[in-house]
Structure formats: structure tokens, C-alpha cells
Chains A and B, each alone.
Chain A
Amino acid sequence: MISDDLRSEATPDGSPPSVAFVIWTVALREMAEQVRGLRFLLVVALVLALTPLAVYVGTSDFRSRLEDANRLAAEQAEMVARVRDNGRGVDISWTVPWTTESELAAVRSVRPPEPLSVLVHGLDGAMPQYWDYSATGLILGPPAWQPQWLADVLGQLDFEFLIRVALGLLAVLLAFDAVAGEKELGTLRALLSQPVSRPALLTGKLVGGIFTLLIPLVTSFLLAVLVARVFGVDLLLAGNAPKILLLALTSSAYLVCFFSLGLLVSSIARTQRTSMVVLLVTWVLMVLAIPPLASLLGKTVYPTTPAHVLQKRKAALDDDVRRQAEQAMGDAYREITGMPEGWADTRKYEANKEAVDQRIAPIIVDYLKKRRQLIDDIDREAGRRAQRQNDLTRTIMALSPAAAFAGAAADMAGTGDAQRSAWFNAAYREQLNLNTVLFDDPPSVMINNRGAQFRASLHKAPSASDLPRFAPPGRNAAANASRALSLLGLLLSTTALFIAAGFVAFSRYDVR
């Protein structure tokens, strides 16, 4: 009994034991009891058995995505070489009926996978494998990950999921009877009759619980890094060590949060049964229900149109405007060269190039202006809606520590929303750069003389090496962490709130 321990140490000179001593004794006792308990053994065995599996699947996924990305990059280098060899340069600014796959690929931005996705899969597989650039804006490549139909029905399992769900549950299971159980057994009375302050007692329980939770957490992290190493992904390379450390810290903050929530409920509840029912239901709501509900609610309140539908919409609108411009240019061409309707001859154009170019220049400018406006309108509206949706979703998600943890973990591993928007912004910047050099200054245009089309080359197309280079977003730990810090702060303040409320509830507990 804890009370025996306290009495034996406290009596030599009759003065009450120091606060630090009480906390230490209670914490050690708690740990010793919890570690031997059934729940600890069961859950820890489960987590330690599943960790190697989750990490193995993570590494094999990562490696296959890495292979894909490398192959795409090699293909792109080949495309660039081909475009350079043919000496025509990159000329994709005017949408033409036939595909120009190689030229399109010459300005492609390929995204390599993130090594820490082995632990926190996050969005790494769901983000586009590459971005293409076109006259009507960004084109998203396919997701890096082949969609897995069964996984969608049954759900994914990665290392982060194990911590969030299994260890999160352990935190709750360890805490539910910490106070309520002693109330029922009557040991709390005995304990409080000793010269022990209530805050010190609760702090002892808190510290003991935290240390108990740290054992499986640290073990599973070490195991995960080791297993990843065995399967050929060294997670400690390339400045990843601080990120993993941050990840472990965030994970422990998350576990502490659930444990202190458990202590709070346990202090309020009269019986362990009530405490447990309330805690388990809260746990299910916070871990499994609120996060997806938040995303769905966000989408219901501020619906957005998927990117691929927007792409199609832009292309369809551009098609109409462009065809008008092509026909207007055809009229000008016919007038100057005297060709009959429905006839096209590039040589006639070359012979009268100056005159025709002068006539069609304002038509092109007018078309480009219209196109820009139409694309900007669609983009701006879509961006505004996406922003509002995202804000609402994040606000609702802040209600759940599990959601905050998942968000922070993904951001720290570089597979989260922060990294996603960084990539999209980088791609968007590249699109703007390409707009100025390429898309808003088309090297050639299609001219349509009542059904007969030909391609008129206005000036030399820029070579692939002249185009602005794509600058991928940095992946240093500090930049990722700064985005995650607000979420971590939220997690910590929620924890502080739970602890404070727990102290108040415990101090108000009526022993009688």
C-alpha cells in the first residue's frame, strides 16, 4: 500500500514527507502496479507485434514510390534531351488537337516521396506524383500511390495509427480507475488520512502514468527505426533524426493529453464503471469520429469542386474562346493572302508573314486576356472556397486531441498538409513563371480558315534549358516544425486544461 510506504518514511522525526518524496513514491508505486497489469501487457504486446508489420509495409510502399519517382525523373531527362535534339524548343502554349506528350513532360515537376512516410504515411501517397503545366493552368498527375480498393474499405495501418489508436487507448485504460478505483476500494480514504497533499498525490499518479506510457512509446520508436533499417530505409539519414525526435515528443504529448483526460474523468466519477463508460465513448468520438466528421462537415458547408473537374471546365471554356480566335485569325489570313475558304497553306503564310502577324497580334492578345481572366476567375473562386473549407475543418478538428496529434505528426514528418500546400505553391509559382516565358507569349498559333487548319510559327520557341527551373519546397525540420507548432501548442494547452481541471475536481472530492 502506498500509505504504508509513506508512513514508514515520514515518521523518523515526525515531520510530514516532502512533496517531491510523495510524488516520487506515488509515481513509482503506480508504475510498478500498472506495468504488471493485464491491460498494459495486452496493449503493449499488440503494439510491439504490429510495429514491425506496419513499418515493413511502410518501407515497401516508400521504396516502390521512390522507384516510380526515379523512373519518372529519368524519363523526363530523356524527354528534355529529345526536345533539345529536335531543335524546335518547347512549344506547348497553344492547345492543339494532337498530343505533345514529350514536350509536356519536358516541363514536368516530379515529386519524390518523403522517407518519414514510412512512419507517418499522411498524404504522401495521395499527393500527385507530378505536376504538368499547360496553357490552362496546372495539371495534377496521378496520385503517387495506386489506390488500394480493399484498404479503402478496411482502412490503413501505419505506425502513427498504432500510436494514435492503440497507445491512446492504453492511456485511457490506465487512467480510468486511477482515482475512481481507489474511491471504490476505499484506499483513497486511507491515503488521504496521511500527511499527503492532494495535488502531490495526483501529480504522483500523473508522473507514474506518464512514465508507464513512455516505456512502450520509446520502445516502439526504437523498434520502428530498427525495422526500417533492416528493410533498407535508414530513417536517421539526411537530417531526419531531429524530426523523429520531434515526432516522439509530439506523441508523448498526445499520450499525456489522453492520460490527463482520464485522470480528470476518474476524479469526477464516483465509480470506475461510470468513469470507463464516459472515457471510452469520449475516446471513440475523439479518435475515430470527430476527425472524419470534421472534414465531411467542412465539405458540406463549403463544397468545393475537385481539381480534375476544374481542369476539364477550364479546358472546355478555353476551347470555345480559342476556337473563336483561331477563326478570326483565319479570316485575317484569308483576307491578306487571298486564299479561298477552307484552304490552308503554310507557304502562303510564310510569304506574307509580316502582314499576317501584324493583323493577328491583337487577336492573340485579346484571346490571351480572355483566357487569363476566365482561368483566374475559376482559380480565385476555387481557392477562396478551399480556404474557407479548410478553416472550418481545422476548427472542428481542434476539438479532438487525436486530430491535432495526427495533423502535427504528419506535418513534422513532412507528409502533412503543410508539405502539401508547399508543393502546390511551388508548382503554382512555376506555372506563373512559365506563363510569362511561354504560355502568355505563344511561339506558334493555330490558324483556322473555315475548317482548314495550319500551325503558324510566330517566333522561335524557348529551348527546354531556357525555361525557369522548378524549385521544390525545402524539407528542413525547422520549417516543418513551425507549421506543426500551433497544433502542438493546441495539444499542450488542452493537456494543461485537463490537468488543471483534474486538480480542481480532485481537491473538491469529498472523502465521506
Chain B
Amino acid sequence: MFITLLKKEILEYLVSIRFLVLTALCVLLIPLSLYVNSETYRRWSADYNEQLKIESAMEGRGNRGYHGVRPPSPLSVFANGIETSLPKDFSLENQQISFGVPRSYGDPIYEIFGRIDFLFVVQAVLSLVALLFAFDAVSGEKEMGTLKLTLANPVPRYHVLLGKFAGGMIVLGSPLLLSFTLGLGVLVVAGYPLFQSGVLGGVFLILGLAVAYVAVFFLAGLLVSTLTHQSKTALIMLMFVWVVLVLGAPRLSIMAAKLIRPVDDDSVVELRKRLLTDTIEKEKGNALKPLYFEKARQKGLGKGQLMFDSEDPEFVRRRFEIAGPFEARLRAELTRLEEDQQRRKQAQLNLAHNLSRISPASIFSYLMTDLSDTGEFVKVRFLDAVRSHYSTMDRLVFSRSYHDSINDGNHGWGFGGDLPGSGVPKSKDLPLFSLSFPRKAETIAASVPDIGLTLAYAVLLFAGATVAFLKYDLR
């Protein structure tokens, strides 16, 4: 009986205009978006390589290790994620990490409309199509009266619902699978490194998640369809739900998080840091002034002349005794400011994340971007890598150099260089920045809660639909 039901559902869907539209959409959008994004990835890789080349040409001039470039993720072809908004490079100075611009910078249209990738096609377009498949699955049969006929047969009610779900998913899934395979073929022809390690496994996971996500929306459609008596009402309610879940909730969560946990702008914090640096540097300069003037008298320098006497170990030692505490304080205060800001930002972000998890669409975004190495997981990894590179450079270079500025009201003097005898490594011995993408197992482990949540949504929706269907009064 179940097989008969399933066959009937599949046949019904196959002859409807919806199936045609779905197939056309999938075949048009998926291979096209994959191809276009693979070209974008290729351009990003070319830019990345060019930048590496330029950096290494500049290295000969003694600033090896002062810059770093972030490689693009090959899987960004499926979900662009933060690939376009995370800084693509950074440079280091004493007490300062300055991040470069994101990859999308200077691209006007993207800023208004966003991007189109596999994630988007599934998240927005296919979820809508899934609702269009489901909205009249039950309510339509109620209206036409065929439901009465079906239920007059000796068949458990949940079999009917299961048949609708299975039939719908088979019909929804096959064009998706077909066009995804087609898209992968296009990628291979376009020279995309599909068989590189870590890529193919990610691709299968991405496809599996896409099917699960579509199933969630199909089930939501089934639930509303069982609850309503008219397919038009079901449709209007579903459209509303779709707008709220897919377009509203994710964006709203950011706004709500901003309202609940406001965070200072980065530029304000940057300004605060600069003020702090200026103040402490000035104090340090004032404290060092007598030492420098004494040195000038000792050396018999002319009026208005000061020097850093690197030949005199006593001078170097006394300078360090005076300047050391100031430098340590500056370092500690700056770190505190920076960590404070990062903590607040992370708290806001976590709040936004959790608020947005009310919608399967945002959960899907997080899962897809994390699996594509373009999500929160990789962002944190990159920022950590930059900070640890800075502390290496700080240990090897910045903490072994001196920067003094002396001011006596009319004149200012600046001194800077490597502290004598501190053993600053030669330029070629300095480490280069590198970032590796996480192993797939790590990513999956980090995504388990979100995967679980998606499945929980599916189970809950199916249970809800079953209950509603069982309670449906035929008369």
C-alpha cells in the first residue's frame, strides 16, 4: 500500500509544472553558479600568488615576516562566506597589527546584492521550491476531497504522510543531484582542483546537508498544509514563514545582537590605543630625558644634539632600566584593550549566532560556510594565527628594539633601532606567516551541534505534521 501511495505522489509531482520549473532552476542556477564561483576562486588564487610574489620581492629589503597573506579556500566555490569580507592580508609594526582590505573591496554591485553561490541557491531558491511542493500536499487533497478516498483504504495515516514526504523528497532531490553532478563536471572541466585532498569529502558533506535542509523546509510545508483547510491559506502562511525564516531572522539576529550587546567601533578602540600609546611614550620620553642629556654632556655634543650611544653598555643598561617598566605597561594596557574589545565582539557575535539559530536557514549558512572553510571556524583560526605570528615577531624583533622620543618643549628627537647585544635574528631567519585550513574531521566535530539541530528541526516538524494529521477530522 505504501509503495502505491509513494508511486502516486511521485507521478503527481512529475507531471506538475512545479517539477519542470524546479528542474529548469536547478540545471540553470547550480552549474552556472559553481562555474562562475570557480572562476572567482581562480582569480583570487592568482591575486594571492601575485601578492606573495610581490611580498617576496620586497623581502629582500629587510621586512620579511612583517606581512602575511591569507590564502583563499578552494571550497569557497560552494559557499563564499567570510571569504570576501575577512581581511586578505595584514602587516605588523611594533605594538600594532594592521589588517588589509577584504577581497571584495572595490566591487560595487556585490555590496548591494550579495553573492550567488550553491549555499544561496539552496538556501533561498530551493527552500522556496520545497514549500511550493508541499503547500497543497494535504490541504489540496482536503479541498478536492481525494483525502477522504485515500483514507477510506486500510492504510495507517502516518503512511500517507510518510508517502508524501518520501515522494516529495525523491522528486525534489533528483534534479538537485543531477544538476550538482553536472556542476561538478563543469568544475572539473574548468580546472578546479576537485580531487585535491579534503575537497571531495567536503563536497559530499555539502550535498548531504543541502538535501537535509531542503527536507526541513518540505516538512515545514507539510505541517502547515495539514493544519490548514485551504491550500491558498497554506501558501500565504508559508510564504510569510519563508520570508521570516530565510530573509528576516538571519539579518534580524545581527540587529538584535547589536541592540542588546552594543560594542564600540573598531576605529574608536584604535583611537583609544593610539592615545594610550602617545601618553605612555611621552611619559617614557620625559623619564629618559635626563639620561640622554647627561650622555650629550658627557660626549660633549653641540647644542641641540643628542645620541643613543650603543657602544656604552652602561648607557644601554640604564636606558633599559628606565624605559622597561613603561614599555611593559604599554604592552599590558594595549593587550588588555585589545582583548576586551575582542571579548565584547565575540559575545555580540555569539548572541547573534544563537538568536539566528531559530531559523534553519541560518544554521544551514553556518554549516555550509564552516564546511567550505569560509565560516566562523576559519575566521577564528586566521585571527589566532595572525596574533601568534605577531607574538613570535614581537619576541624576536619588536621587544629587542628601542623607540625613544625625547621632547624638551622646543625640540624633538627620535631614536630607534635594534638594542645592541639583544641578538635580533637576521632578516632571512625570521618566520613567514602561514595559515592551514582545518582538517575535515575537526570541522565536522565543531559542526555536530548544528547538524543535530537541523535533524531535530526535521524530526520535530515531521512529528508535528503527524500529530496534526492524526487529529484531522474527516467529516
Contacts and interface: CB of A to CB of B under 8 A. Distances in A.
B240 A43 contact: yes
A373 interface: no
A123 B237 CA distance: 34
B40 A296 contact: yes
Interface string B217-250: 0000000000000011101110110011001101
Given A46-B240, A169-B243, A297 B17 contact: no
A298 B81 CA distance: 20
Given A38-B233, A154-B250, A303-B39, A277 B18 contact: yes
Nearest to A126: B111
Contacts of B61: 97
Interface string A273-292: 11011101100110011011
B294 interface: no
Q: Report which residue of A43, A293, A406 has the largest number of chain B beta carbons within 10 angstroms of its beta carbon.
A: A293
Contact of B265 (A97, A146, A155, A292): A146
B230 to A, nearest CB: 10
19 contacts: A39-B236, A43-B243, A56-B259, A146-B265, A150-B349, A151-B85, A152-B85, A154-B362, A155-B114, A165-B243, A281-B21, A293-B32, A294-B109, A295-B113, A298-B109, A299-B39, A306-B106, A307-B106, A407-B112
Contacts of A508: none
A285 B121 CA distance: 10
A153 B106 contact: no
Given A297-B36, A306-B103, A410-B112, A153 B232 contact: no
A153 B124 contact: no
B392 to A, nearest CB: 24
Interface stretch (A309-317, A337-345, A426-434, A482-490): A309-317
A313 B39 contact: no
B40 A300 contact: yes
B319 interface: no
A278 B17 contact: yes
Contact of A154 (B101, B113, B271, B356): B356
Interface stretch (B43-51, B304-312, B323-331): B43-51
A8 interface: no
Contacts of B21: 277-278, 281
A317 to B, nearest CB: 10
A291 B111 CA distance: 11
Interface string B240-267: 1001100110111111001100000111
A169 to B, nearest CB: 6
B108 A157 contact: no
Nearest to A272: B232
A68 B267 CA distance: 7
Contacts of A292: 109-110, 113-116, 120
A54 B256 CA distance: 10
B308 to A, nearest CB: 17
B107 interface: yes
Interface string B349-367: 1001100100000100110
Question: What does DSSP make chain B's interface, helix, strand, loop or mixed?
Answer: helix
B171 to A, nearest CB: 14
Given A278-B21, A292-B115, A316 B82 contact: no
Nearest to B89: A308
A383 interface: no
Interface string A147-165: 1111111111100010001
B143 to A, nearest CB: 11
Interface of B: 17-18, 21, 25, 29, 32-33, 35-37, 39-40, 43, 47, 50-51, 54, 57-58, 61, 81-82, 84-87, 100-103, 105-116, 120-121, 124-125, 128-129, 132, 136, 231-233, 235-237, 239-240, 243-244, 247-248, 250-255, 258-259, 265-267, 271, 349, 352-353, 356, 362, 365-366, 369, 375-376, 379
A73 interface: no
Q: Report which residue of B25, B81, B100, B107 has the largest number of chain A beta carbons within 10 angstroms of its beta carbon.
A: B107
Contacts of B258: 57, 60
Given A309-B47, A316-B54, A153 B266 contact: no
Contact of A284 (B40, B84, B128): B128
Contacts of A140: 101, 105-106
The 6 closest A-B pairs by CB, nearest first: A154-B250, A157-B251, A295-B109, A291-B113, A152-B85, A292-B116
B251 A274 contact: no
B54 A277 contact: no
Contacts of A122: 111-112
B102 A147 contact: yes
B37 A288 contact: no
A281 B47 CA distance: 37
A332 to B, nearest CB: 24
Nearest to A294: B109
A289 B250 contact: no
A173 interface: yes
A180 B370 CA distance: 45
Given A68-B265, A303-B39, A291 B112 contact: yes
